[in-house]
Structure formats: structure tokens, C-alpha cells
Amino acid sequence: PAWSTSDDNTLTGFQVDDVLIVDETGALFSDSGDDMSQMIPSGEVWINQFYDYGSEEDNRPGATEWTFYSPGMPFVPSGGETNVYLDISEFAEKTIQFRIQTQYDNNDDGGQGSGLFIDDFWLYKLFSGMYIAPSNLNAEAVSGAVILEWDDMNLSGTEEFIYDDNTFDYPEGIRYDGLAGKSFDILGNGTINSVSIYNINEIDTTIFFGVFSKTGALFDLDPVYPQKQIELVPGWNTVPVSGWDVSNSFIIAHQVNNGFGAAYDGSSSYNRSFLRFGEGAWDLAAYYGIDDDGDGVNDFELTGEFGIRANITYEGLGVTYNVYRDDESIVSALEENTYTDSFVENNVTYEYAVSATYSDGEE
């Protein structure tokens, strides 16, 4: 028989009572819900988070040495899904227990090994807030004063974000099964107005592309908005988008496969190109390379940039600034990204620092 709690919400679960253990001599143990003097009632539901396997040949983490098993490392089976980022947010405010299981086959033809060892088990709480400090502080000494300037964190406007040199030097494109992406950074909130993708393939084709936000230090696996399907002709293709609101750091990526390769500009190197194999995690493209001649050695590393551009309108962070001299506050709540310190003496060395205060009061 089977029942559904959505049909009958009076059902409370599977329960066991009147436990009796006997042998040929009679009852060895008994207990019931009326008098639980010998047993402790409890219940548990195990939810598989991920699985992995040990293989020196496949260079799986922890197969031959201690490895810090971090988010992004879990094995992703072909056509399947797994908790790649080791996210347990769904269990917030619940009491949980962790269980680690191992399974072995019936032989040791892959090596006997010495066992599975787990240590330094850490839990992290992701914080979605992003507080950036002012950067590029410059000081100019003039007679009786020091003029300070730093990058303005409140800039707003619309900009075409371009990180390639419009020279794509790998004629067939970078081909694999997954996504090729480019990371973009803005200060505060913004809106993507259009996306430009270079089709280096000499045929018209149809692909999907989307935008992926960042949580903590990791880029999300699911797109913020439903992916768009576009038809590409050879060369640059600019696609207007509507309602694609973003903030801070994100990736714009398009589909790649054995029939459609990503345009690659090896002359630019901003470390903004990311790739994703199948359903796996995002990785910097610079971690990978291309072995053209099949000799097992990469002929070049993917340190260049994929052919992806974006037109983005951004708002700025709306912060005020605080200036410190020799670790002491000398001015706060500045709205401009410059300050002249006139309370100094010539031929004396000073150290300056600048911080930002956000609308929620965080400095």
C-alpha cells in the first residue's frame, strides 16, 4: 500500500513499536511504546549530498594524498546532477548529522590502498553582502599639504565592457561539451543591455547563453534568468536583452560543444575567461590548455579571452569615504574621492588609509 501526505495530512510517518527478540529459549528482549525503559525513540532521513571515487589515473582528489576537498570538486556523473558546491543551506535551523560511507568492489586490482581518512571538517556560512574597500590610493605632497585621490566607487553610467583585441587566433574555436564564459565586475547594481558573442565558426548556428551570479567566492551553477536561444552568423552578433539586472560580479556564458567552438583571443590576458565542463563547477580557463599534436603536452595555455562582450548600465555603490592618517581618523562622510590634508608638516613621513561606509552603516 502507499499513501501521500498531500492527500492525507494526518499521516505522521513510519513508526515501530512492540519490539520483540526471541530465540529457541524464548523472549530475549522486549519493549513497547507504553514503557520505553530500554530503548530511545528517534528517527532520521539520510539525504545523499554527493559521491566521489578514488582514482590515481583520473587524478581524483584525495586518491593518493591529503587534499582539501573544497566546493567545486565533487564528481559529476554523465547526465546527472550532484551538490557540486557542497551547499547545505536547505538544512538551515535544523539539527543534522553527517555520515560518510565507503564502498569497495570485490577485488584489489586497482591497488589495495590504506583506507579512507577524513580530518578538518569545516562548515562555512556564506555571506551575500559585498563590502569593497577603496582602491588605488595616491598621495601627492605639496607645500604644507598632502593631496589624496582614489578610485571613485560611486561612478554610474553605461559602458561597453571589452576585454579582447578583436583578434581570434584559434580558427576552429575552443571546443568541448559545456559553457564558455567571461566574468564582469561592476560596483553595485546594474542592468545588462546587450550581449555580443563572436562566432568564429564559418556557419550559422543556434546556441544558448545566460548570466550566472556569484555567491560568496563561487559563481552559481544555475543562470539568474532563463537562458536565451540565439541564432549566430559568422563574426560579431549583438543580442539585446531586457530585465537582466545584476550586481557586483557575474559571468556571461554561451554554450559550446564539438560542433561549435568559443572564439579565443590569445593576445589579451585579463584572467576573465571561465569554462565549465558539462554540469561541473566554473573554473578559470587559464588552468587549462590545448594539446594540438596529441603528445600529451599542452601547446598553449588558455590565458587569453573568449569573444564575449557586454553593454552594461551600472549605478555605483552610494558610499561615503573616511580618511585615516597614521591610523587616526581625520575626516569622515566624504562624498568625493579626493581630500587635501592641510594639517601636516614638511619633511615628516605620514601613512594614509581610506575606507568606505555603506548605506547600512558597514565600514
Neighbours of 106 (CB within 10 A): 5
**Distances 2 to 8, 10, 11, 13, 43 between C-alpha atoms, Å:** 11, 14, 11, 12, 20
Quickly state the pLDDT bin for 7 (edges 50, 70, 90).
Answer: low
- Pairing of the two strands 157-161 and 264-265: unpaired
Band of residue 134 on the pLDDT scale cut at 50, 70, 90:
very high
| Residue range 301-318: mean pLDDT, rounded | 94
The average pLDDT across 290-313 equals 86
The distance of Cα 87 from the centroid of its chain, to the nearest Å, equals 11
CATH of domain 138-154+317-357: 2.60.40.10
> Would you state the pLDDT for residue 237?
96
Residue 132 confidence class, pLDDT cut points 50, 70, 90: confident
Give the model confidence (pLDDT) of 84-120 as tens digits: 778 888 888 888 888 888 887 777 777 777 888 999 8
**Cβ contact 329:308 at 8 Å:** no
For the residues 156-173, what does the mean pLDDT come to? Answer: 92
Looking at the chain, the domain(s) classified CATH 2.60.120 span 157-314
First-last CA distance in the chain? 60
- Nine-digit cell at 248? 557586483
Q: How far is CA 304 from CA 195, 219, 286, in A?
A: 19, 20, 8
Give the mean model confidence (pLDDT) for residues 23-43.
79
pTM: 0.69
Contact 352, 343 (CB under 8 A): no
pLDDT of 79 higher than 70: no
pLDDT at 139: 95
Architecture of domain 157-314: Sandwich (2.60)
| Mean pLDDT lowest among 137-141, 247-251, 291-295, 306-310 | 291-295
Better pLDDT: 187 or 195: 195
The ranges of the chain annotated as CATH 2.60.40.10 are: 138-154+317-357
Percent of the chain with pLDDT over 70: 93
Q: Give the confidence band of 292 by pLDDT, cuts at 50, 70, 90.
A: confident
